């Protein structure tokens, strides 16, 4: 983080602890979070967060002493397995981050035939003209699970504009709830 401040010539707005569930050195989650908390206090970043691909291994490590992140970033979208969605909900409920962001709404596979087959438009209240499966999947990802911001990968300005244009579309939360119930029935906890 010290090197980053030198490279950027300013403290970054946000630094993520990346996939702590894959920590191979056995460092407790609370210690890693405390180190980031200290770094923010020392002025090395404006805030810190945790980005997790699979929150399930983090749940047993969480206790009242674990410092709270400003942002918790979790997988979002229709390709997230049901048990991962449920664990993300639990993590948000117990850790109470200031903000929850989603990531990788297409699971990095925008050409997967699943997007045509699954018809993500059914998750929208009133899909407008020009609502492609990918655009509908992106909008729906804000509700699976509930997130305020999504990190999506793109090198294409037109793609980004297409995605931004979906933010005013309505999500049918009744359909989202039914989908979550179906996922739970398919893979009971």
Ligand X SMILES: NC(=O)c1ccc[n+]([C@@H]2O[C@H](COP(=O)([O-])OP(=O)(O)OC[C@H]3O[C@@H](n4cnc5c(N)ncnc54)[C@H](OP(=O)(O)O)[C@@H]3O)[C@@H](O)[C@H]2O)c1
Tell me which residues touch ligand X (CB under 6 A).
18-19, 51, 53, 103-108, 110, 134, 151-156, 159, 162-163
Q: Which is nearer to ligand X, 125 or 154 (CB)?
A: 154
The residue (of 101 and 179) whose beta carbon lies closer to ligand X is 101
Written as six digits, the tokens of 43 are 């002025």
What count of other Cβ atoms lies within 10 Å of the Cβ of residue 151? 14
Q: What are phi and psi of 106, to 5 degrees?
A: -105, 10
- Of all residues in the shown chain, the one whose CB is closest to ligand X is 153
Backbone φ and ψ for 57, nearest 5 degrees, come out as -70, -15
User: Regarding beta strands 99-103 and 71-75, do their DSSP bridges make them parallel or antiparallel, or are they unpaired?
Assistant: parallel
Q: Which is nearer to ligand X, 41 or 119 (CB)?
A: 119
Report the nearest approach of ligand X to the CB of residue 174 (Å): 25
User: What angle is formed at CA 184 by the lines to CA 178 and CA 189, rounded to 5 degrees?
Assistant: 160
- Please report how close the Cβ of residue 91 comes to ligand X at its closest, in angstroms: 14
Copy the structure tokens of residue 161: 């504009």
In a 3-state reduction of DSSP, which class is residue 176? Answer: helix
Which residues are CB-neighbours of 66 under 8 A, at least 6 positions away? Answer: 29, 30, 33, 95
Q: In the chain, helix, strand, coil percent, each to 5? A: 45, 15, 40
| 28 or 110: CB nearest ligand X | 110
CB of 132 to ligand X, least distance (A): 7
Question: Smallest gap, in angstroms, from Cβ of residue 64 to ligand X?
Answer: 25
Looking at the Cβ atoms of 153 and 174, the one nearer to ligand X is 153
Shortest Å, Cβ 179 to ligand X: 19
């Amino acid at each position: 983080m010290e090197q980053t401040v030198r490279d950027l010539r300013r403290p970054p707005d946000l630094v993520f602890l990346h996939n702590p569930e894959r920590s191979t050195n056995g460092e407790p989650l609370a210690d890693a979070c405390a180190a980031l908390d200290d770094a923010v206090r020392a002025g090395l970043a404006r805030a810190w967060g945790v980005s997790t691909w699979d929150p399930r291994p983090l749940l047993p490590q969480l206790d009242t002493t674990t410092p709270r992140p400003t942002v918790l970033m979790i997988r979002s979208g229709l390709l997230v397995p049901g048990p991962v969605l449920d664990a993300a909900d639990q993590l948000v409920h117990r850790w109470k981050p200031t903000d929850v962001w989603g990531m990788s709404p297409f699971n990095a596979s925008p050409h997967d035939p699943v997007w045509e087959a699954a018809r993500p438009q059914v998750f929208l209240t009133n899909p407008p003209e020009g609502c492609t499966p990918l655009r509908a999947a992106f909008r729906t990802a804000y509700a699976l699970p509930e997130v305020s911001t999504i990190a999506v990968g793109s090198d294409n300005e037109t793609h980004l504009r297409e995605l931004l244009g979906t933010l005013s579309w309505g999500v049918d939360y009744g359909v989202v709830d039914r989908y979550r119930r179906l996922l739970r029935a398919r893979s009971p906890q």
